[in-house]
Structure 1
Amino acid sequence: MILDAKYNYRLIQLSAIVKITNILQPIINQNIDEYVTLCRRFGNKEEHPKIDYLLGEERNLRLHAENVYWKINERTLEVRIPLDAFTNIRSHYSRIRAAISDLIRIPVKFPTWSELAKETLTDGCRPLCQGVFYNNDKSQKNRSYIHIFFDEDIARLLVNPCYGYSRLLQATVDNCRSIYTARIYMQICRHADGKK
């Protein structure tokens, strides 16, 4: 979903999305294992049982991951990224904050049920994330964090193995000096995985 996005990402935004995917990696790994088990048990032709890859039977996050929190009442997923994961140069923090704040402007085509039309509407867009916030660590004064909030249904797509996923090397994306280099690298990874 992210690899094939037509949105013109900035390099910092692309790096943030890869970091978010890496933070969610324990949940994704568990879901891939469960998905493979279901494929072996039911085969490719039979209908698999419906699984919520984000929430378990008790309606909480399937797997506890550091820097990830499920807000049950607000139906949002909160992901925390330290600002120094992007750069060690403090004078660049304001530029990084501005780029990450623009994540809420990235449009995602997502089908939504309409009670008024009594059908699923598919031709509209929603923002990738609900909000981006910042705070300073109280125990370490020089450390700041970015908190990104995702709607429940979009968060499900980020951890769902059925929609295709390519493992990307964070260091490779971070060392790219051009967005085009990063996009070419991502497409190479996509084709190396056989588009799966």
Structure 2
Amino acid sequence: HCGSCTACLDACPTGAFPAPYQLDARRCLSYLTIEFAGPWPVEFRRATGSRIYGCDDCLGVCPWNKFAQGSREARLQARDALVSPRLADLLALDDAAFRALFSKSAVKRIGRDRFLRNVLYAAGNSGDAALVEPVRRLLGDASPLVRGAAVWALAQLAPDTLGAPAAETDADVLAEWTLATA
């Protein structure tokens, strides 16, 4: 059905379509935000913009999807609290609050640590100086994945305040610190 249309290829923020009918999932923001367990490759972090869970830009521009209808099923509708959440509120979630907020939601499946990684990448892309302190607090999080993402986010928001890694011992977090201060 695609014919000469390249709308999805052109819309993809990471170039995840190397050619028509081919998807490199390793470059896809939906894959990175939902399925990928570790720190993202640095070259895709800016491309995520403010996305926290999924992307679907390719689906949004597909002319065939103009025929699709949204679900009328109430259980599939986004809850008001999840439509446009504040990044500062999301950065403050502990595990219990994360599980409560995303109860009966597919987001819960990725867990708090991967979710906060995504939120931290979005925070780093936001340019919002009000997020510096909430991000800085996460440098002390129990999860190395969260701490590493916090290093990257802080380096984007306030690079002069990053300082040296105090008592960090995790190799991945130290690698983030090295990249951020290089």
TM-score when normalising by structure 1: 0.21
RCO (CA 8 Å, sep 6+): is it higher in 1 or 2? Answer: 1
Q: More strand by proportion, 1 or 2? A: 1
